[in-house]
Amino acid sequence: MTTTQLATSHLTALVDGVRTAIGKHADWHATAGLVADELRRHLPSPDEIMTAEERLGSAEGYRSRTLYVEPDGSFSIIALVWRPGQVTRIHDHVTWCVFGVIQGVEHEDLYDSDLRLIGRSDNHVGEVSGFAPPGDIHRVHNTSDSTAISIHIYGTDVTRIGSSVRRYYD
């Protein structure tokens, strides 16, 4: 079974739930909350959506794996694999975003528009969070000594636009 077949067979309920949430035509912040509720209900395990090799990640940097893209481009589901110490740059997003941790721990730093640190959290297995612009400036870091994996759902087709990031901050 290919990774795409593996992921698709385990994501059907999640995909249906995200479609329903988006179909409510709420604003981005409310949509992020509705999609987060669906991800909490249907959070897959790592072995349900990725091969053992994909779950290893890469020493060169965190890796993403596209699991599903809605045909109309309204959302995409991506798995991210983070080895210990791997970190994103500070960034914001082009649309709403929801993520859930399915292995390990992901540390998140939150910033205001002046790039002042306004919050920190360690997100553990089963924890789900969602946000939307404005107010979505953050950095994600695997601060643990084991590999972390998370599921991210974005309100766009990130394979078409290349990234969920709107801009990076120094």
Query: What one-character-per-residue DSSP string does 64-132 give?
Result: EEEEEE-TTSS-EEEEEEE-TT-BPPEEEESS-EEEEEEESEEEEEEE-TT--EEEEEEEETT-EEEE-
Reply yes or no: is the peptide bond before residue 134 cis, omega within 30 of 0: yes
Between 88 and 7, residue with greater pLDDT: 88
pLDDT of residue 151: 97
Mean pLDDT calculated for residue range 126-151 = 91
Task: Identify the helix (H) or strand (E) that includes residue 157.
Answer: none
Mean pLDDT calculated for residue range 103-119 = 94
CATH class of 3-169: mainly beta
pLDDT at residue 147 above 90? Answer: yes
- Ranking 46-55, 62-71, 102-111, 126-135 by mean pLDDT, the lowest is 126-135
pTM of the predicted protein model: 0.90
Mean pLDDT calculated for residue range 99-107 = 95
Spatial CA neighbour of 123 closest among 110, 136, 137: 110
Angstrom CA distances, 78 to 70, 73, 117, 120, 169, stand at: 12, 14, 27, 23, 23
Is residue 28 within 8 Å of 95, Cβ to Cβ? Answer: yes
Q: CA 69 to CA 135: how far, in whole Å?
A: 25
Percent pLDDT > 70 in the chain is 92
Q: CA 162 to CA 28: how far, in whole Å?
A: 20
Residues 6 or more apart whose CB falls under 8 angstroms from that of 111 comprise 90, 117, 118, 137, 138, 139, 169
